[in-house]
Amino acid sequence: MRAELLRNINRGMPDELQKRYRELIASRRAETLTESEHTELLHLTNQVEKYDTERLKYLTELARIRKISLTELLDELGIEPAYT
């Protein structure tokens, strides 16, 4: 069970998704995002949020099994919050 949770936690988003998401975020910050890119960014944001939600579910379950807080687990695994 723990091994499966760790596999799911460590499974990254597909490289293509991450790359395109970062490109669109950069365009948004530079205020050069087109309307179609904005629509694409909204779609990708939904995908990223679903991935993050699933990962958080696995992290929370592993913390529960280990009987430690989520913060302690993140520290143990060397995971820093993505959004600060």
Domains of the chain, by residue range, sit at 2-77
Alpha-carbon distance of 39 to 41, in angstroms, equals 5
CA angle 48–39–33, rounded 5-degree value: 100
> Please, which residues have CB within 8 angstroms of residue 27's CB and are 6 or more apart in sequence?
33, 37
- pLDDT, residue 82, reads 67
- State which H helix or E strand residue 40 sits in: helix 35-66
Note the pLDDT tens digit of each residue in 25-56.
Answer: 999 999 999 999 999 999 999 999 999 999 99
In whole angstroms, what is the distance from residue 64 CA to residue 69 CA? Answer: 8
Amino acid 83: pLDDT: 58
Q: Which helix (H) or strand (E) holds 47?
A: helix 35-66
- Asked whether the whole model's pTM tops 0.85, one would answer no
Segment 4-20, tens digit of pLDDT: 999 999 998 899 999 99
Residue 81's pLDDT band (cuts 50, 70, 90): confident
